[in-house]
Amino acid sequence: HMDEGVKKRLETIVESKNLTMEKIYGQKPVSVDEMWAWCEHYAKVFGPYICDVGQYLAEADEAGKKIMFEAQLGALRDIDFGIYPYTSSSNTIGAYAPIGAGIPGHKLNLSIGIMKAYSSCVGEGPFTAELAMTEEEKDVLREHGHEYGAATGRPRRVGPFDAVASR
């Protein structure tokens, strides 16, 4: 069961979001009671799966269990080592996986990199691989690789495999 502190936070969030709903989008305000009922429903559904991830992983590590991390993005897009300002908001280097997962002292024993057989890029900035293909070739690759933004459907930039960047 969720406590009153959570309900107070929900009231504050709903009040703030309703300003946007009404003043910007011209929509009816969201009901705190409806949102509270929604939260209670999904708290029951997902409650058993919610935990302190850092603690969960630390205990798994201490018990000798294997932990697998998954990351996305790639060469030149890392927030620390990428081509600023055309970077991601996260670290894409394997050694950062334990830090992002909440177990910064965890030592990686094995790193396996899996790459596509071609390059893709979202957003602006240098992307030299795409210069090696005609627009028609890019369209074929984009279509076969389903290279469209998951949320926006926007076509992604594509090019051949970049051996230098991938190294």
Same domain for 22 and 37, yes or no, is yes
What per-residue confidence (pLDDT) applies to 151?
Answer: 82
- Residue 129 shares a structural domain with residue 150: yes
Provide the terminal-to-terminal Cα distance of the chain, rounded to the nearest Å.
50
Q: Are residues 126 and 100 part of one domain?
A: no
Residue 37 maps to a domain = yes
User: Looking at 94, 111, 128, which one is the last position of a domain?
Assistant: 111
- Residue 72 belongs to some domain of the structure: yes
Residue 151 lies in a domain: yes
Residue 62 lies in a domain: no
Residue 58 falls inside a structural domain = no
Do 42 and 29 belong together in one domain?
A: yes
| Mean pLDDT in consecutive groups of 10 residues from the start of the chain, 167 residues | 84 95 94 94 94 96 92 75 80 85 91 86 83 92 92 90 82
Which long-range contacts link 51-58 to residues 24+ away (Cβ below 8 Å)? 52/102, 53/101, 53/102, 54/101, 54/102, 54/103, 55/102, 57/101, 57/102, 57/103, 57/106, 58/102, 58/103, 58/106
Instruction: Tell me if 157 is assigned to some domain.
Output: yes
Domain count, the chain: 3
Return the pLDDT at 95: 84
> Do 93 and 76 share a structural domain?
yes
Residues 127 and 164 both lie in one domain: yes
Q: Same domain for 155 and 142?
A: yes
Domain with 100 in it: 67-111
**pTM for this predicted structure:** 0.62
Gap between the Cα atoms of 32 and 39, Å rounded: 10
